[in-house]
Amino acid sequence: MNDPLISPRPAAGFAPPQADEAYLRRRAAVEHYFDRTAAQAWARLTSEAPVGRIRATVRAGRDRMRATLLDWLPADLRGQRLLDLGCGTGALAVEAARRGAEVVAVDLSPTLVQLGRERCPADVAAQIDWRSGDATDPALGRFDHVVAMDSLIHYRLVDAVTALAALAPRTRGRILFTYAPRTPLLAAMHTLGRCFPRSERSPALQPFAPAQVLRRLAEQPALAAWTAGRQARVNAGFYISQAQEFHR
């Protein structure tokens, strides 16, 4: 799936300890796409403006996935810190702040981060620290919860798992993340995306089988004290995403 109308969400910036050339190329492509090529499309998709049929299914799917992840978090987040890894324009960050959380919202795209900052409601503005750059930077401190909604989907599994493992020692409670599940429908949508002009395509998604994801996570020493929890899949037209909970 590599069309700007379909790709579920901007991807976060993170830097694996041993970043190779393939990762660096992919990160550069993701940054260019979401900060320049598709910035206006994302501004509209994440607003309340009318959108076409395909984008409407993506918007509805994102809303359902966001609600699922928020449901997995405590209703009262007062006194807790949350990292929104790949925050985009900040819808999840705002909802977490409304529950009382102190949120660090990080995205690879300065354009989308600035848009999130501008849209942020005044009543929670002081609770959200908007940043663009490396979401795994130790300087960001410790967190009670980490949420990565559709923000690792453009990267290889080894890079996504490395990023989560880097955050685990600094996270006290839950890590919630999503990925593109390997399904026949997703494969068909990926093929469809190739029909669009190259200049309009987003970086292709990297689909994984759920068992493959859990196996790779279990191999990480940093996650040895963590347990795989709830799973949920949202399939809404042109939006397909699988959520996974990890907790101590």
Which long-range contacts (C-beta less than 8 Å, at least 24 apart) are formed by 18-25? Answer: 22/156, 23/155, 23/156, 23/159
pLDDT at 60 over 50: yes
Average pLDDT for 45-64: 90
Give me the mean pLDDT over the 127-142 stretch. Answer: 95
Query: In the prediction, which pLDDT does 70 show?
Result: 98
The model scores a pTM over 0.95: no
- Which of 43-57, 59-73, 218-232 is predicted least confidently? 43-57
Q: What is the mean pLDDT of the chain?
A: 85
pLDDT confidence tier of residue 232, bands split at 50, 70 and 90: very high
Q: Report how far residue 196's alpha carbon sits from residue 116's, in angstroms, rounded to the nearest whole number.
A: 28
Alpha-helical regions (H) of 105-156: 110-119
27-53 average pLDDT score = 77
CA angle 91, 97, 102 (to 5 degrees): 125
When pLDDT is cut at 50, 70 and 90, the band that residue 18 belongs to is: low
Secondary structure (3-state) at 124: helix
Give the model confidence (pLDDT) of 186-196 as tens digits. Answer: 555 555 555 44
Contact 206, 157 (CB under 8 A): yes
Given the candidates 3.30.470.10, 1.10.3210.10, 3.60.9.10, 3.40.50.150, the CATH classification of the domain at 21-247 is 3.40.50.150
